[in-house]
Structure 1
Amino acid sequence: MTGPSLADGRPPTRKRSGGERTTSINSLDHDILCVVFSFLGPFDLAHCSSVCKFWNKIVNKSKLLQDLYHRQRGSYAHSSDMPALSQKPLRYHMREWAIAHHQSSLRVGHVEVDQWKGHSIGVNQCRMKMSSILTGVGDKVMRLWSAESYKCLGEYAIPHAVSLIDYDFDESKIVGLIGTRIGIWRRGGQRSIFPSREGTFPKGLCLRYLDPEAVVGCEDGTVRVFDMYSRKCSRIIRMHSAPVTCLSLSGEQLIFSGSSLGSITISGLSSDERVATLRPNDRIGIKTLCFNPCSNLVFAGCASGYASCWDLRKMGVLWERRVSPNVLYSLGHMQYDTSTIVVGGIDGVLRVLDQSTGELVSSYVMDQPVSSASSSSGGIEKRNGRRLSEDARIDNIPRAARPPIMCLAVGMKKVVTTHNGKQIRLWKFH
């Protein structure tokens, strides 16, 4: 239950029973908080703006963001920058700066790897959104973690009679494919299962969720679209003649699906019309794909180690490169990033590619342990990441330093990976 608050968004000051007034940061007035916030960098300042309405108002209504932007760009003395700034909201320019910082960190930054035991048996899936990491598939529980403290924020049990196949989540719920049914876990802990209807869909292999619809890729080559509120299958779309192995959704009502035969089909989410079929030159099965709406590029990883990119504006292949000698299991990029994409696969090397050309920007493996520290999640082992040279022999690197990367998710200057083991790893780029 949400407590009372003042008109400006601040919680009221509480008093102890003895009459003694407690002092908290909420007791500080506007001017003092402005002084405190002025010492922060862009990422800490952005976090502070999300704490409460009062802090958000201070950050956005004062000149903190504007001063910080000019300080980071070194443009205090260049008044010519001001007209360009006024054309777009300042938050847009700060986001551009943050994305550039993220891109630079992936390309040339120092890497640290924090890992912790997250499950009792091996898991192979991870998702990361809004500084939260959700891991699962392998045991009978999904766990939600803080990407900052690694504290477990919640556990979500899987019904014993079924197995979890795939899942997705947002700020309020987790949607999972369990057997031939769909389950919904509220972040508060309540679970519900879609009613069982004979023949609703055959074996599902993958799932993606974009409120209010969950999309399931099936073994028979179809994609089934489910409405989260009516709890009914609203559409059945024939996408492939082979099993659908991976999915991606766009906010423009498009479904991207990859098949075990190596093709990618694009269809409308509402119209069911097939928009296009993309075929890489290498026809071995598509294992992973994603769509970048900012650049209109579609990326895919194949079982033969090839990564491919198509430009939807031209409906043609932009590039194809064999970036690994083995299977690519996962790839992804951060929202709004049009420069880099991160790829992982069976050889355990974390690779960063240029989105426009497919060229290898950098590649990493884990190094020897640095230290271990106790934490609420059961102990954090800290390692350094090691950047590989272009001519590095992967076979000479011990397998312990490069366990297979089964899944990855990309956030601001960080990448989370799962490896079909008990450990969860967070790669931090500085």
Structure 2
Amino acid sequence: MDRRTSSSSSSPANTRRSIEGLNDDIMCTVFSFLDLIHLIRCTAVCKSWSGVIDKSKLLQILYRKQRGIFDVSTSSEGTWKGKIQDLAISQHRSTLHSGLVDIYQWKGHSEGIDKCKMKTGLVLTGGSGKVMRLWSVERYKCLAEYYLPQTGSLIDFNFDESKVVGLVGNQICLWRRNERRSIFSSQSGQFPKSSCMCYVDPEAVIGCEDGRARVFDMYGRKWSRIIKMHNGPVTCLSLSDDQLLIGGSSFGHIALSDLSSDQQVALLKTNDFAGLTTLCYSSRSHIVFSGSRSGRASSWDLRMMKQLWEARVSPNLISSVQHMRDDISVLAVGGIDGVLRFVDPQTGDFLSNCIIYESSRKLNRSETCHSTVTRKKGLRVSEDARFDLIPRLSRPSISCLAVGMQKVVTTHVDGHIRVWKFRK
């Protein structure tokens, strides 16, 4: 029989070979081979997978096995989900602190990468080139490209389920997630030179060199108001869930302003007069973390307007301080010296330091950007090590980072993207 004829057969055996064709019992068997973290990830893929896992009580069974619990009495769904979430966070912290490290890297851009943002397993990257790219963290594959206007360079960006918002030169640009070209650009020249942006639908807030923040209404497509924050340039921005705008300055101060009333709420002064380079806000704990040009990091409780700690965590500029969304069990810090550091967010104490071990092997080739993916090993290094004596190939400068469950994504000025995966 001709192979082409056989492959084109319309018989039932050949029409449902995808995973959707498997019944619940088979899916349950497949899921039973997974560990707790991967099983939790599967519940977020789609409703059908989540339904199979919930119905089979695989998470509860796996939890009992790991905890040595043999009482099979039932508990409320909320109780189980809370216990499983706590166990997942505990494993996340443990692996980042002391687990084995695999690093998957590829050349994501021909030019340098300055920024990255990660949500639901997707990472958006961009820098000195004229394109932003959306990547799958698990498959190391480029899923979409977004081209910038010819005028102006990319300064900052963010994205959600349906759109990408970018600060390009002195204008705001908007892309639909399925569109390559910008569908909207604000009029240029309407605000001074800017250095940062934060975005929570439907508003984008721009931090400018004149110490003010400009608010752009994405639906009305107009600048709605101006907020006075600092006497010097606004260098980094974040936005809390209760509409509190948080802005770092070139003088090391953090200003808090009410976005709804445009009134300044407080001005927090650190002991470090070097400019702040990055902010990270935890909506769960109402704590904001900052990093500075001098390598110092600090933590503030915004409910009490009180500094919790301030510490020198790097000998050079800190480019990014991040934690996993809705969790502050581990704080990741990256900067010019190229060492990926993990800090205790409660105290500022060091937990671990990671660099790249320069042995590698090629894995595959990205279909979109024709880039070879290479796997390397990560090394744990003690805090008293002479990092200046470690070759730069093992610690390339980190321009930005993002934290996910048992993983950290770092971007670099040479155009590389690295996914650090941590395991037991």
Scaled by the length of structure 1, the TM-score of the pair is 0.91
Any residues of structure 2 matched to 1:18-417 within 5 Å, and which? Answer: 18-21=10-13, 22-24=15-17, 25-77=19-71, 86=76, 88-189=78-179, 191-196=182-187, 199=190, 201-376=191-366, 377-417=370-410
SS of 1:252's equivalent in the other structure is: coil
Structure 1 stretch displaced more, 324-333 or 307-316: 307-316
* Corresponding letter in the other structure for 1:243: P
Q: More displaced, 417-426 or 371-380?
A: 371-380
Q: Give 1:5's aligned residue.
A: none
- Amino acid of the residue matched to residue 346 of structure 1? I
Do 2:214 and 2:226's aligned partners in 1 also have CA atoms closer than 8 Å? yes
How far apart, CA to CA, are the structure 2 residues paired with 1:225 and 1:18?
Answer: 57
Change (3 A) 1:114 1:249: same
The one-letter amino acid of 1:390's match is: E
Which deviations, in whole Å up to 9, do the C-alpha atoms of 1:22-57 show, x marking residues without a partner? Answer: 233323333332233222223332343344333232
Deviations 1:227-264 (A, max 9, x none): 21111122211001111100111212111100001100
Q: Which runs of 5+ in 2 are unaligned?
A: 1-6
CA contact (8 A) 1:124 1:421 kept: no
CA, structure 1 residues 325+20, in 2 after alignment: closer, same or farther (shift >3 Å)?
A: closer
Q: Percent identity?
A: 52
String of CA shifts for 1:85-123, please: whole Å, max 9, x gaps. 538353332222211111111111111211101111222
Q: Corresponding residue for 1:9?
A: none
Query: Which consecutive residues of structure 1, in runs of 5 or more, have no partner in the other structure?
Result: 1-14
Is the alpha carbon distance of 1:281 and 1:78 closer, same or farther for their aligned partners in structure 2, counting shifts above 3 Å? farther
Cα distance in 1 for residues equivalent to 2:384 and 2:47: 52
Tell which deviates more after alignment, 157-166 or 38-47.
38-47
Aligned to 2:3: none
Amino acid at match of 1:37: F
Q: CA deviation at 1:69?
A: 2.4
Change in 2 beyond 3 A, CA 1:167/1:309? same
SS in 1 for 2:20: helix
Q: How far, CA to CA, are the matches of 1:69 and 1:16 in structure 2?
A: 45
CA contact under 8 A between 1:416 and 1:426: conserved in structure 2?
Answer: yes
1:352 Cα shift? 0.4
Number of aligned residues: 411
Q: Structure 2 vs 1, CA of residues 359 and 20 (structure 1 numbering), >3 Å: closer, same or farther?
A: closer
Deviation at 1:66, TM superposition (A): 2.0
- Change in CA separation of 1:17 and 1:370 when aligned onto 2, cut-off 3 Å: closer
Q: Deviations over 1:346-369 (max 9, x none)?
A: 111111000010001101111112
Q: Which SS does the other structure have where 1:374 is aligned? A: strand
User: Cα deviations across residues 316-352 of structure 1 (Å, max 9, x unaligned)?
Assistant: 1111111111111111000122221011111111110
AA of the residue aligned to 1:260: S
Work out the CA distance in 1 between the residues paired with 2:189 and 2:271.
Answer: 39
Q: Distance in 1 between matches of 2:184 and 2:50?
A: 38
Which residue of 412, 419, 422 maps to 1:426?
Answer: 419
**2:197 match: secondary structure:** strand
The amino acid of 1:259's aligned partner reads S
Determine the C-alpha separation between the residues in 2 that align with 1:131 and 1:350. Answer: 20
The one-letter amino acid of 1:388's match is V
Question: Is the 2:236–2:276 contact (alpha carbons within 8 Å) kept by the matching residues of 1?
Answer: yes
